[in-house]
Amino acid sequence: MSNTPSAGDVVAAAERIAPHVHRTPVFTSRTLDELLGAAVFFKCENLQKTGAFKFRGACNAVLSLTDEQARAGVATHSSGNHGAALACAASLRGIPVRVVMPETANPAKIRAVTHYRGEVLPCAPTLAAREKSLAAYVEESGATVVHPFNDAQVIAGQGTAAREFFEQVADLDLLLTPVGGGGLISGTALVAKDQDRGVRVVGVEPAGADDAQRSLRSGERVANTAPDTIADGLHASLGPLTFAIIEQSVDDIVTVNDADTVHAMRWFWERLKLVIEPSAAVAVAALMQGKVDVSGRRVGVILSGGNADLDALPW
């Protein structure tokens, strides 16, 4: 694979990870369809292994390692879901894994990493602290870094969710995904534009962490310096690789505020009886708040994860 993944790399990733990932179901809501005047389909990556789409990319990256690379193990920094996914993927090959996590990380997500026998290294809640701690460990151990999103193998793996989606639901006009570091929407866009250039791909992010929207509209990659949102999985800023794909293949990025995200999350739990976390609920909020024109369209939404902290629900 080159440094920039392609739709063909997503196909290869799908074949590589098929024995290990769930082919997640698609849910619908007649109530929401009537409210929006659209046909909405939810791809339930909250029901994926480790509770999030992240397992797809981590699994593809780990299974792509040579035997020599695998012996030294893998390492990453993560706010939670990618760390748990990488730990679970590493267990498939019986290799060591270290996850650098901010001290302020969701306790449920820290527990998930340790559940899969990943070793957690706490650090200050800044990107600089994460990268410094990770670099020190990699220099000492020789481990391979599997970046949460700015990695071609990870992006290709994340794109397999959209590939399945197109197999499960015909004639989608629009795909919505949450946006943090951009791995999911990058993989989704690669697949969607390969399937049909007319399919719109729109990202959703919190208003308090809107680097992707600002980057796409300005044409220059900008960073979140102090993200402020309940959607802890969307604190990350775009990487060079994800920004390049987004700039070329994503049609728009919209934002929602946290109050609307919490409302959408609770509505979803109550009506569809499915647990989604705030980072997934942003996409539902965008629909409910009319941030995207969906009238008369067939809309696919990738629910990115369901790892909510049940000890600290936002209602």
Residue 127 is predicted with a pLDDT of 77
Question: Can you tell me which residue has the tokens 């996590």?
Answer: 101
Buried-state track 88-118, b at ≥16 Cβ within 10 A, e below 16: bbbeeeebbbbbbbbeebbebbbebbeebeb
Domains and CATH numbers, the chain: 7-52+155-303 (3.40.50.1100), 55-145 (3.40.50.1100)
Q: Which residue type, as a one-letter code, is found at position 205? A: E
Q: Which residues contact 135 (CB under 8 A, 6 or more apart)?
A: none
d(CA 272, CA 134) in angstroms, rounded, equals 39
Is 0.85 surpassed by the pTM of this model? yes
CA angle 157, 158, 163 (to 5 degrees): 90
Closest Cα partner for 302 from 212, 185, 215? 185
Q: Note whether 276 and 284 are within 8 A (CB).
A: yes
Burial of 289: CB neighbours in 10 Å, binned 0-12, 13-18, 19+: middle
Q: How far is CA 113 from CA 47, 226, 229, in A?
A: 17, 25, 22
Q: Which residue type, as a one-letter code, is found at position 134? A: L
**What are the pLDDT tens digits along the chain (315 aa)?**
558 899 999 999 999 999 999 999 999 999 999 999 999 999 999 999 999 999 999 999 999 999 999 999 999 998 888 999 999 999 999 999 999 998 988 888 899 999 999 999 999 988 788 889 999 999 999 999 999 999 999 999 999 999 999 999 999 999 999 999 999 999 999 999 999 999 999 999 999 999 999 999 999 999 988 889 999 889 889 999 999 999 999 999 999 999 999 999 999 999 999 999 999 999 999 999 999 999 999 999 999 999 998 888 998
Residue 101 is predicted with a pLDDT of 93
Q: Which residues contact 170 (CB under 8 A, 6 or more apart)?
A: none
